[in-house]
Amino acid sequence: MDPTVDNAASWPDAIYAHFRRARIRQVGYVPDAGHSRLIQRCIEDPDIADVVLTTEEEGVGLVAGAALGGQRAALLMQSSGVGNCINMFSLIKNCGLPCLVLVTMRGEFGEFNPWQVPMGSITEECFKLCGFLTYRVDHPDDVDDIVGAACDMAFDGNLGIAVLLSQRLIGRKVWSK
Amino acid sequence: MLERRPLVKHLLADRGNLLVVSGLGAPTYDVAAAGEHPLNFYLWGAMGSAAMIGLGLALARPKDRVAVITGDGEILMGLGSLATIGVKQPHNLAIVVLDNRHYGETGMQASHTNSGVDLVAAAKACRFREARAISTADEVETARRLLHASAGPAFVQAHVEAENLARVLPTRDGNENKLRFMQALAKVS
């Protein structure tokens, strides 16, 4: 767990509440500081299969398999992981499958690491080019409303929906030697 | 060395409600050649995703058996998936790699297994409960049974001839394939 991320912030619980409401049964993720509280909620939930991935692109296959099997799934990743998924997103577009992705953004507000910037700065465009709808969240108060809408659109409409949780929302990563 | 078409036909004989995901290229043609079935999901792309689609399906349908039938190039592109499957230990998932040691779809260039990269060792290292290689006809029935019963995730590397066979083409329409698969699955209690 990254001590520089504010794990007391409760907005991840609003996301988790929508996972419960939408009956999401599989959650794929690569370990991430920004998502750590949500990941822990999913791990502790016996109704959710938490699947830790070696790379984000595996998660797209997981979501596709879950949907074919009649279960709802969600993916949690950092913006850097979105680039890993691009060819796999052809599954979502070609088969008309729901794909809900919650992205913790890096490489934007107050980023200390320039290596996060190239992918973070094109994350939203990448999603759009792959046929996803994107919603950006900058304020904790908006998490509930936007994630709720994203869940409904993904699963009611068989759509790819990405929610970008901004670096300002998550908190600037404070890094020291 | 096995011939891939008779091998896949044997593996899918008496399949019952086995859910089958085929990796792009020759494995998709082999599965189609074994006989159309609504519980087949054929990949024509998304190379490297077949094993993970199998995992998602296996977790969603714990009472059904799932078989991923794919090629050496396809599994090599998603080798980390074996580690992910090893963590979850699905009891109802089997992966069959039709290993011809070549990329057949792009002109028969050598794959990593052609240099001796050992997929069974990789599967064992990733905690597959059953992992074995087969290369003779008398081993095929044992492999077929593994698709229908295993204590944990199962992995079969089938050494097959590097042959270019006539293509047997199932639907390329992902939406049609999805709907057919899901409608058939809804009838499986």
Structural domains in chain B (count): 1
DSSP state of B165: P
Percentage of chain B lying above the pLDDT 70 cut: 100
Structure tokens at B59: 């977790």
Predicted local distance difference test score (pLDDT) of residue A175: 66
Determine the pLDDT at residue A110.
85
DSSP class of B112? G
Per-residue pLDDT tens over the stretch A125-168:
999 999 999 999 999 999 999 999 999 999 999 999 999 999 99
> Does pLDDT of B165 surpass 90?
yes
pLDDT value at residue B134: 98
Query: Which of B52, B174, B181 faces A61 most closely, judged by CB atoms?
Result: B52
Whether the pLDDT of residue B136 is over 90: the answer is yes
* pLDDT, tens digit (0-9, with 9 covering 90-100), for B97-127: 999 999 999 999 999 999 999 999 999 999 9
Instruction: Tell me the mean pLDDT in the region B168-179.
Output: 97
Contact of A160 with A131, CB cutoff 8 Å: yes
Q: What is the pTM of this model?
A: 0.96
CB–CB contact B60 A66 (8 Å): yes
DSSP class of residue A19?
H
Whole domain around residue B172: which residue ranges?
4-186
Q: Rounded to a whole number, what is the largest CA-CA distance in chain A?
A: 47
How far is it, in rounded angstroms, from Cα A12 to Cα A16?
6
Contact A65, B52 (CB under 8 A): yes
pLDDT band at A5; cut points 50, 70, 90: low
Check CB contact of B184 with chain A, cutoff 8 Å. Answer: no
CB pairs under 8 A between A and B: 121
Q: Which of A4-13, A41-50, B33-42, B136-145 has the lowest mean pLDDT?
A: A4-13
Per DSSP, the three-state class of A161 is strand
Cβ–Cβ of B56/A70 closer than 8 Å? Answer: no
> In the predicted model, what is the mean pLDDT of residues A69-75?
98
Q: Give Cβ neighbours of residue B133 (< 8 Å, ≥ 6 apart).
A: B120, B156, B157, B158, B159
Q: Which class is domain A11-115+122-170? A: alpha beta
**Joined tokens for residue B177:** 């394939």
Minimum distance, in Å, between the CA of residue A65 and any CA atom of chain B: 4
Confidence bin at B144 (pLDDT 50/70/90):
very high
In this prediction, residue A4 carries a pLDDT of: 54
What pLDDT does B189 receive? 75
What is the three-state SS of A34-98?
Answer: CCHHHHHHHHHCCCCEEEECCCHHHHHHHHHHHHHCCCEEEEEEEHHHHHHHHHHHHHHHHHCCC
- At residue A136's C-alpha, the angle toward residues A134 and A140, to 5°, is 145
Residues of B in Cβ contact (< 8 Å) with A57: 48-49, 78
**CATH code, domain carrying B80:** 3.40.50.970
- Residue of A27, A94, A99, A159 for testing the chain B interface, max B β-carbons within 10 Å: A94
